């Protein structure tokens, strides 16, 4: 079996670098809005009774004038999956329950309902196999065709630089995944989602890592542009109510269907980091 220790460390370093760049970009937007809000970072260790397991991460959260609540987490964990859960994970099972996982996860809930909320994550996992996954999707309470088009165009450009089949495939995957069956609605206007991008050898790892870096860079380029475009828009009480109701749908998806939430809970992750995706305020009718 290939030893992916060095590659895991390299991916972790990139995810931390991307975290730093994203947080700096978001803090710059707060400064432009006259706010001194900054990220607060909380390190955490994975709780385990087995010395061979462990890892942890850093939870970064900012609450400001533009970003009502944004969390940017980086974690690197290792251990064994519980037997039943192992059967649901690519390359794992009763005979191969061991895993390592490193990644970045981001969710931003915005103060102004004209500014879209957003989710982004990229990750590298090893079981008996090794693979990358990730993506980003835009979640506007008040959709604008211009914003949707620009968001998709940024990720299409990132995809097309690697494989012209990536964008249509991963866009459809996002449409299928970010869907709330019990409401029969999508949770937003989509983006891209990919998983199990397997690394059969080190050359494949380099290709898929390059693609994953481009996905992160595309997010860092496009989302601050959308925030600046909308953050000064006036909004009404009705607009805010629409946002709060939409956030309820977002919470439903993350608590009922999101695989990342389940993965964190099943692998001893930090509860506050896992649930940072939930909005600071939401309503149901």
pLDDT in tens, 142-162: 999 999 999 999 999 999 999
Structural domains in the chain plus CATH codes: 5-277 (3.40.1500.10)
| CA separation for the pair 24, 221 (Å, rounded) | 13
**268 φ, ψ to 5°?**
75, 30
Per-residue model confidence (pLDDT) at position 82: 73
| CA separation for the pair 282, 251 (Å, rounded) | 8
| CA separation for the pair 154, 168 (Å, rounded) | 13
The order of strands in the sheet holding 40-45 is 40-45, 54-62, 67-80, 98-110, 117-126, 130-139, 190-198
| CA separation for the pair 58, 103 (Å, rounded) | 11
pLDDT in tens, 182-234: 999 999 999 999 999 999 999 999 999 999 999 999 999 999 999 999 999 99
Q: How crowded is the C-beta side of 10, counted as CA atoms within 13 Å?
A: 11
Catalytic, 186? Answer no
User: pLDDT tens per residue, the chain (285 residues)?
Assistant: 678 999 999 999 999 999 999 999 999 999 999 999 999 999 998 776 565 568 899 999 999 999 999 999 999 999 887 777 767 777 776 667 788 999 999 999 999 999 999 999 999 999 889 999 999 999 999 999 999 999 999 999 999 999 999 999 999 999 999 999 999 999 999 999 999 999 999 999 999 999 999 999 999 999 999 999 999 999 999 999 999 999 999 999 999 999 889 888 877 778 888 898 999 999 998
Contact in structure between 135 and 174 (CB atoms under 8 Å)? yes
| CA separation for the pair 62, 179 (Å, rounded) | 27
184 exposure class (CB count in 10 Å sphere: 0-12, 13-18, 19+) = exposed
Q: Which of 109, 119, 186, 208 is catalytic?
A: 119
Q: Which of 88, 75, 96, 72 is nearest to 24 (CA)?
A: 72
Contact in structure between 231 and 115 (CB atoms under 8 Å)? yes
Beta bridge partners, 100, equal 78, 126
Per-residue model confidence (pLDDT) at position 53: 66
pTM: 0.93
Per-residue model confidence (pLDDT) at position 7: 96
| CA separation for the pair 180, 193 (Å, rounded) | 16
253 exposure class (CB count in 10 Å sphere: 0-12, 13-18, 19+) = buried
Contact in structure between 266 and 82 (CB atoms under 8 Å)? yes
Query: Nearest-5° angle of CA 214, CA 169, CA 186?
Result: 95
| CA separation for the pair 44, 92 (Å, rounded) | 26
Contact in structure between 85 and 59 (CB atoms under 8 Å)? no
**Residue 130 CB partners (closer than 8 Å, separation 6+):** 2, 4, 7, 91, 124, 198, 199, 205
The CB density around residue 176, as the number of other CB atoms within 10 Å, is 11
> What DSSP character marks residue 116?
P
Per-residue model confidence (pLDDT) at position 49: 59
């Amino acid at each position: 079996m290939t030893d992916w220790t060095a590659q895991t460390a390299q991916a972790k370093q990139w995810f931390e670098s991307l975290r730093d760049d994203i947080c700096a970009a978001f803090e710059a937007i707060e400064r432009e809005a006259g706010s001194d809000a900054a990220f607060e970072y909380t390190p955490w260790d994975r709780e385990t009774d087995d010395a061979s397991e462990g890892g942890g991460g850093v939870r970064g959260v900012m609450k400001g004038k533009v970003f009502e609540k944004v969390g940017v987490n980086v974690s690197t964990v290792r251990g064994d999956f519980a037997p039943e859960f192992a059967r649901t994970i690519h390359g794992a099972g009763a005979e191969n329950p061991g895993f390592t996982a490193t990644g970045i996860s981001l969710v931003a809930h915005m103060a102004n309902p004209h500014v879209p909320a957003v989710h982004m994550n990229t990750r590298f996992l090893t079981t008996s196999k090794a693979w990358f996954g990730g993506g980003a999707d835009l979640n506007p309470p008040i959709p604008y065709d211009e914003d949707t088009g620009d968001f998709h165009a940024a990720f299409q450009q990132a995809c097309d630089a690697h494989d012209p089949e990536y964008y249509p495939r991963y866009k459809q995957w996002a449409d299928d995944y970010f869907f709330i069956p019990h409401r029969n609605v999508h949770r937003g206007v989509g983006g891209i989602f990919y998983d199990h991008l397997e690394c059969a050898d080190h050359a494949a790892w380099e290709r898929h890592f390059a693609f994953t870096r481009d996905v992160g860079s595309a997010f860092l380029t496009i989302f601050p542009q959308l925030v600046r475009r909308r953050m000064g828009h006036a909004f009404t009480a009705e607009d805010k109510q629409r946002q709060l109701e939409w956030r309820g749908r977002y919470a439903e998806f993350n608590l009922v269907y999101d695989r990342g939430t389940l993965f964190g809970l099943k692998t001893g992750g930090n509860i506050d980091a896992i649930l940072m995706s939930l909005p600071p305020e939401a309503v149901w009718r």
